[in-house]
Amino acid sequence: MARAETRQQDGLADLEHWYPWLAPFTFRTTFIPLSRDHARALTRAYTIRTDAAVSQLLGLAPQELERHDALLLAELSSSMDIAISRMGPCFVRLNSRSPKDAAEVDPAVFDQEASALSTPNQKLALFCDMSGRSLRVCSGKRAVSLLISSQRVRSDLQQAEEAADQGLAEWSLQLCLREWSD
């Protein structure tokens, strides 16, 4: 099945379809519309971010984000700042999937904290905890940073774009801010 056709099926499981029934039993969630222009800006920022890592390895100058895209990402950031100010720390995701592949653990901090642990299981638990905590966002800027660092998000954005272009599915991606719970 092609990516665009897969979006047609996957879209049925998006958060907005099940959240109304489970809202009393799950984390409070705020939905923020995501235009196709904003989605394209996120996708281009992901590509530039990925290319920058390669450029650095090769000693090349990294590509700059175009002004139009920077303004679109600033709009998204501002929209999320407003929602975050109302709900507090949160977990950001698309209505389709989350950027959990963008979790980052600072190796120096991990090594420092892990040095007091004695078993591999304790160290693995620490790593998992640190990875999870790195997905906690308190600002729109941090949320955008996670979104443009995630291959999962980029893939869903491109899949939704292709499905909409081919008339297989309406554009329905949204940003979702879910209440954070430690």
Please state the pTM of the whole predicted model.
0.88
Quote the pLDDT of residue 62. 61
Helix (H) or strand (E) holding 172: none
How confident is residue 103, by pLDDT bands cut at 50, 70 and 90? Answer: very high
Residue carrying structure tokens 């409070």: 28
Q: List Cβ neighbours of 7 (8 Å cut-off, separation of 6 or more).
A: 156, 159, 160, 162, 163, 168, 169
**Residues 128-164, buried b or exposed e (16+ Cβ, 10 A)?**
eebeeebbebeebebbbbbbbbbebbbbbbbbbbbbb
How confident is residue 58, by pLDDT bands cut at 50, 70 and 90? Answer: low
Q: Could you read off the pLDDT of 117-155 as tens digits, one per residue?
A: 999 999 999 999 999 999 999 999 999 999 999 999 999
Q: Which of the given ranges, 2-6, 91-95, 117-121, has the highest pLDDT on average? A: 91-95
Least confident of 40-54, 57-71, 89-103: 57-71
